[in-house]
Amino acid sequence: MKPGIRLLFCLMAAFLTVMPARAQVDSLQLRRLEEKLGQYCAAMAAQSIPDKCKECDFLLESVSDPALRDAVAVRLYAYFMQSPLMGDEAVAIYLTDNWFDPGKVHFPSEIDLMNARIFAQFNRQSLLGRDAPSLALWTPSGESETIPRTGADAYQVLYFYAADCPVCKVETPRLVRFLSEQDTPLTVYAVYTGQDAGVWKQVRDSSFAVDSEVVEVHHLWDPELESDYQMKYGLLQTPRLFLLDRSGRIVGRGLDAASLEKLLAAIPDARPYAYGGEESERFFSDVFAAYGNDLTAGDVREVATHVASRALAAKDTVLYKHLSGDLLYYLSGRRGEAFKAGTGFVADSLILSRGDIWRTADDSLQVVMLASLMHEILGRSAVGTRLPDLQVSGSLRNFRRSRPGKWNLQRIGGRPSYLMIYSWGCSGCQAEMDALDALFTAAHAADRQVRRAARRMRVLLVDMDDVLTNDPETGERLLDTFDLAELPFILEADRKGVVVRKYLRFSGASE
């Protein structure tokens, strides 16, 4: 809490310590008390709900006179019950549970206490920021449907209404009009609270015609009240409207059509999440830049595991999807051995193996399809598999010379041996050619041990443009066997033609 606000609270506590007992307070002093409490509560406006609860504790514990403490507690309760800030009623429930119900402070009458208990009982499950209680309801065709969804494609609206409710007769057309004008995808659960199926059908047909391509409306009811939706959602009267995020968390309660519109406009992620945005690009660039040129596949896996485990520990599947999806997009656009291995890890371990999380149509379209594609591409010429028994035109280069001809990929014969598939129109390919030249040139001037290692090295250089032009069938085999989406493609194989490493760089540059 800011020092200035804390000072105000301390001054408020000091003011209360010098106030006389309530029975001795005159009207002027009561007005002063009301004014000070108003300032105190206003100062808490920007605080979180837990902080507001703590500050109420702080203030009430500062009052020594029981009668005066009762007066302060009642005033605080009334303020948070009537607060224009959504969610403040949680503080009133906290005061009921921790101060009024245990008898630490008292309402003016037992009726007041009973009303506070009823309000707390009917609202504690559907407070702002909590997971929306699950309901098993019935569709018009008699099928059971459980709401809300977790990991949904869109934000969800939960609207309880009655056919004979005067306020509903005004609010329902407003809501339908707003939904018909929406360009933000929404899933709406319109829950009829009556028991007459005929009346319900008439309401659906006449009053709930939402004309929108991005709004999906589900009509539901529970005529036998088996789901206990009144208690779970505080349904003491209708209409009752909630806004839930994609994970099913309550982000708006006690809304009407106008406040729903404002809230949706203020929520940055109400629209479908766009993976791979500029912000996530900058974030992961900064993360991996810290590793410099020493980045390894293990480092990338460690980063991926860390961001995923943090989200799962918080039981936030939406955050998990955003972080791992953004990371997949980031890695899939990077070159180099470490990034490619990391891409495969994210695709396989964080996405394709977590069907319990990635299960919506939007997930499939934006992330799962990309993960499946990367799994297939990165699986070509996997480490530990043998190169195909294929004759390819190219130049076999070693320490002393370069020999053009036809070469079998399984029999390059060096220790180590490399395959480099390139295109002359590629600037990165030319850079790797230059790096290979420099490597062999430097070996001539190096000590005997380095020269001996260089003599064993074999590099088969394959011009992909030439192969596709003169031997299209072999070119197709190469495209099916290796990930040639980006050139140059460089791998290392042992003397038996088994792939040891891939996505290498002779330049040693980290990309």
Domain-by-domain residue ranges, the chain? 3-125, 135-266, 278-378, 391-502
Q: Which CATH superfamily includes the segment(s) 391-502?
A: Glutaredoxin (3.40.30.10)
Question: 55 exposed, middle or buried (CB, 10 Å; 0-12, 13-18, 19+)?
Answer: buried
CA dist 392 and 407 (Å) reads 5
CA dist 239 and 162 (Å) reads 7
pLDDT-derived band at 28, boundaries 50, 70, 90: low
The domains spanning 135-266 and 391-502 adopt the same CATH topology: yes
Q: What percent of the chain has pLDDT over 90?
A: 61
Between residues 93 and 84, the one the model is more confident about: 93
Q: Give the model's pLDDT for residue 172.
A: 94
Assign residue 276 a region (left: φ > 0; alpha: ψ between -120 and 50; beta: otherwise).
left
The token pair that represents 508 in the structure block: 């040693």
The token pair that represents 376 in the structure block: 């297939």
| pLDDT tens readout for residues 333-369 | 898 899 999 999 999 999 999 988 887 666 777 899 9
Name the residue among 176, 187, 191 with its Cα closest to residue 149: 187
pTM: 0.56
| pLDDT tens readout for residues 147-174 | 998 777 789 999 999 999 999 999 999 9
The Cα diameter of the chain in Å comes to 108
Assign residue 478 a region (left: φ > 0; alpha: ψ between -120 and 50; beta: otherwise).
alpha
Kindly state the average pLDDT of the residues 400-417: 86
Q: Give the model's pLDDT for residue 5.
A: 44
pLDDT-derived band at 478, boundaries 50, 70, 90: very high
The per-residue pLDDT of the chain, averaged, comes to 87
| pLDDT tens readout for residues 312-340 | 888 788 789 899 999 999 999 898 899 99
The domain made up of 135-266 has a fold known as Glutaredoxin (3.40.30)
Q: Give the model's pLDDT for residue 369.
A: 92
Q: Which residue has the tokens 């057309």?
A: 173
Helix axes 3-17, 49-61, angle to 10 degrees: 30
Q: Give the model's pLDDT for residue 239.
A: 95
Is residue 474 over pLDDT 50?
yes
Q: What is the CA radius of gyration of the chain?
A: 34
Is residue 383 over pLDDT 80?
yes
Q: Give the model's pLDDT for residue 109.
A: 95
Q: DSSP assignment of 185-225, as one string?
A: -EEEEEEE--S-HHHHHHHHHHH-----SSEEEEEEE-TT-
Q: How do 144-147 and 215-221 pair as beta strands? A: unpaired
Tell me the range of 36-50, 153-167, 399-413 where mean pLDDT is highest. 153-167
Kindly state the average pLDDT of the residues 110-124: 95
Assign residue 106 a region (left: φ > 0; alpha: ψ between -120 and 50; beta: otherwise).
beta
For the ranges 64-78, 184-198, 410-424, 437-451, which has the lowest average pLDDT? 437-451
pLDDT-derived band at 260, boundaries 50, 70, 90: very high
Is residue 247 over pLDDT 50?
yes
| pLDDT tens readout for residues 423-468 | 988 888 999 999 888 888 887 777 777 677 777 888 999 999 999 9
Q: Give the model's pLDDT for residue 361.
A: 67
Q: Give the model's pLDDT for residue 223.
A: 95
Query: b/e map of 318-338 (b: 16 or more CB within 10 Å)?
Result: bbbbbbbbbbbbbbbebbbbb
The token pair that represents 39 in the structure block: 């300032």
- Residue pair 300/257 in contact by the 8 Å Cβ criterion: no
pLDDT-derived band at 26, boundaries 50, 70, 90: low
Kindly state the average pLDDT of the residues 91-96: 97
Q: Give the model's pLDDT for residue 3.
A: 39
CA dist 443 and 456 (Å) reads 12
Q: Give the model's pLDDT for residue 375.
A: 94
